[in-house]
Amino acid sequence: MSGNLRSPRARWRQGCPMRAHDALPAPLRLWLKEAALPWSAESARRVWEREVKRSGVEGALRRLAEVEAATLARERVAVWRD
């Protein structure tokens, strides 16, 4: 098993993922609770902060849904080959 740990693609996350999730703003945590995909706190925060500055909380929630829908569409093609 130690061979897997030496993989050049292995990424070790710094810090506690639950603490990072708990530090997210409440509206974002609520959205993530209902999300179809498992978002990391880091990627959700990145989209959130950019979009809140651009279009407020409602705009950020809309953009998160758009990003998730686009990801699901890409994965659907890869899985089902259509």
Q: What are the tens digits of pLDDT across the range 32-43? A: 999 999 999 999
In a domain? residue 32? yes
| Predicted pLDDT at 7 | 45
Q: How far apart are CA 55 and CA 61, in angstroms?
A: 10
37, part of any domain: yes
Domain with 51 in it? 13-80
**2 inside domain:** no
3 inside domain: no
As given in the structure block, the two tokens for residue 41 are 């706190």
Evaluate whether 60 touches 52 at the Cβ level (below 8 Å). Answer: yes
CB-CB contact of 32 with 47 (8 Å): no
Q: Quick one: pLDDT at residue 45? A: 97
Is 22 inside any structural domain? yes
In a domain, 43, yes or no: yes
Please give the backbone phi and psi of residue 12, each rounded to the nearest 5 degrees, phi first.
-105, 125
Query: Does residue 46 form part of some domain?
Result: yes
pLDDT above 70 for 54: yes
How many structural domains does the chain have?
1
pTM of the model: 0.76
pLDDT at 12: 63
